[in-house]
Amino acid sequence: MKDSLEYKRNTDELKLAVSNMRKHLAKIYKGGGKSRIEKLHAKGKLSARERIHLLIDPDKDFLEIGAFAGFEMYEEYGGCPAGGVVAGIGYVSGRQCVIVANDATVKSGAWFPITAKKNLRAQEISIENRLPIIYLVDSAGVFLPLQGEVFADKEHFGRMFRNNSVMSAMGIPQIAAIMGSCVAGGAYLPILSDEALIVEGTGSVFLAGPYLVKAAIGEDVDAETLGGAETHTEISGVTDYKVPDDKTCLETIRDLVSRLGHREKAGFDRIEPKLPAYEMEEIYGIYPEKGAKPYSTLELLYRLVDDSKITQFKEGYGMSIITAYARIDGWSVGIVVNNREIVKTKKGEMQFGGVIYSDSADKAARFIMNCNQKRIPLVFLHDVTGFMVGSRSEHGGIIKDGAKMVNAMSNSVVPKFTIVMGNSYGAGNYAMCGKAYDPRLIVAWPTAKIAVMGGKQAAKVLLQIQVASKKKRGEVLSEADQQALLDQITARYEKETSPYHAAARLWVDAIIDPLETRKVISMGIEAANHAPITKDFKTGVLQT
């Protein structure tokens, strides 16, 4: 296999896609740029990423969430790398925690609309998995030119403080460090947390800064007197710990986390992890160039699961979806994956191409129910073009069988994890636990495409609509003009289906190297294991 030209082409293509992803990330990691980081250092402050680096355990992974948030957005304002905030799951004193750190190099840490969305996603991960959350605050508040998109709605800025309050009532530990500016409504975040630290000389927290105070009541007061470390630890009592610098602040947080008590866990099964028996890097050669050709889905699975062992559920039935029990990094999982292989059956050779048929939807629904019965986390791997269409499928009840799968998946009480490997189109995205169905984590490979339908089909439909519209106005397009318009529509549509477009808007949590898939799933299940399942599994009405 490795010697084939196709394998080598596939490998080159996917490695190039991963390399391009890493180049984008390298730029994102610089935040507002070298000069702005140097300005922070001159003030005695660390950057957001430097703070996280010192906070987390050095021998453990940090799973960043939303690195591509805001990618190629807000360019009229100079951009907003990583949404102006760094977030993820890391280990602090051996404990998994959610960490949220404002990036003061990006518009002084101001909140863009995507910043609010990313902060809320971080809190959602903390709530769903009962993980402690640490806020490293350094923000100028709402980005005023876009205040109309970040202030008043349910999922805007204020929802974060509502979550602070709810999380506190749930017993989820929250620690906040004021390491720079913390103004206006944002001042409530650290004080709604369980404990708040403030750094001398650089940290300040107040409802209104010196300029606004002067304008409102005519009082002249400097930031330190108004809301600095001494004021809030010795006069107002607003904060709990005064620390001399960033390094001491982060060491103090590590100490506080080390003292947290332990709670009951969900009890998901884990044994000694094993690497796949096959080389994981062979994924690069197996996954087809541009995802355009059939490939062995099973061969891909063998390079993701422990010891390359899987136990297929209903192996010979509903073969356009593979359902299987396996282990990933020791964790017991149930896998639901679209089959892209050409297989031989008693009915003859069949090519599935990622289409979901009635029997496969029925099988998947039953498998999802079984995993809930057994308390086994579910992993969905997408390469789906949608449900089968046509009179034969409609007469066979494809809608009710698809609905059965969606119903079972939607009501699942075990944690779900979604990996978008390739196509993720239309109702196929929904049935395979797309973003709308609350996966604990959803990530994409650089080969992912997320859209209502494939680019070629969509572009032709859109072309027909535009040609018809022009015709009504008396405009007739030549074949050359139609082709030029088709090319333009296709290019725009393809850009909108890319994983970068999805990740920029937080439709996926991250774009990852396929070789990181095991790590993401394992860290995700470890996080989910902190949250006991308190609801019984039951579906709604199922059409039969």
Report pTM.
0.94
pLDDT in tens, 288-343: 988 878 999 999 999 999 999 999 999 999 999 999 999 999 999 999 999 998 77
- Residue 348 has a pLDDT of 67
Residues in the chain: 544
**Residue reference for tokens 């029997």:** 359
State whether residue 8 is helix, strand or coil.
helix
Cα angle value 393/381/512 (rounded, 5°): 145
Of these ranges, 2-6, 121-125, 145-149, the one predicted with the greatest mean pLDDT is: 121-125
- Average pLDDT, whole number, for the chain? 92
Domain chopping of the chain, boundaries: 1-30+266-448+498-544, 33-258, 453-497
Q: What fold does the segment set 1-30+266-448+498-544 form as a domain?
A: 2-enoyl-CoA Hydratase; Chain A, domain 1 (3.90.226)
pLDDT in tens, 229-240: 999 999 999 999
| Type of residue found at 90 | G
Token pair for residue 143?
A: 């980005």
Tell me yes or no: is domain 33-258 CATH 3.90.226.10: yes
Is the pLDDT confidence value at 397 over 80? no
Same fold, 1-30+266-448+498-544 and 33-258: yes
Left if phi > 0, otherwise alpha if psi is -120 to 50, otherwise beta: which for 74?
A: left
Using alpha carbons, select from 160, 252, 164, 161 the residue that is nearest to residue 200.
252
pLDDT in tens, 190-247: 889 999 999 999 999 988 778 777 788 888 888 888 889 999 999 999 999 999 999 9
DSSP 445-500: -TT-EEESS-HHHHHHHHHHHHHHHHHHTT----HHHHHHHHHHHHHHHHHHHSHH
Give whole-number Cα distances, 468 to 461, 471, 473, in Å: 11, 5, 9
Q: How far apart are CA 464 and CA 458, in angstroms?
A: 10
Q: How far apart are CA 284 and CA 78, in angstroms?
A: 36
Residue 182, H or E segment: strand 174-183
Instruction: Tell me phi and psi for residue 116, to 5 degrees.
Output: -60, -45
- Helix 113-129 × helix 158-170 angle, to 10°: 10
Do the beta carbons of residue 430 and residue 437 sit within 8 Å? yes
Is the pLDDT confidence value at 525 over 70? yes
pLDDT in tens, 75-130: 999 999 999 999 999 999 999 999 999 999 999 999 999 999 999 999 999 999 99
**Beta strands 355-356 and 386-387: pairing type?**
parallel
DSSP 51-110: HHHHHS-TTS--EEE-TTTTTT-SGGGT--GGGGEEEEEEEETTEEEEEEEE-TTTGGG-
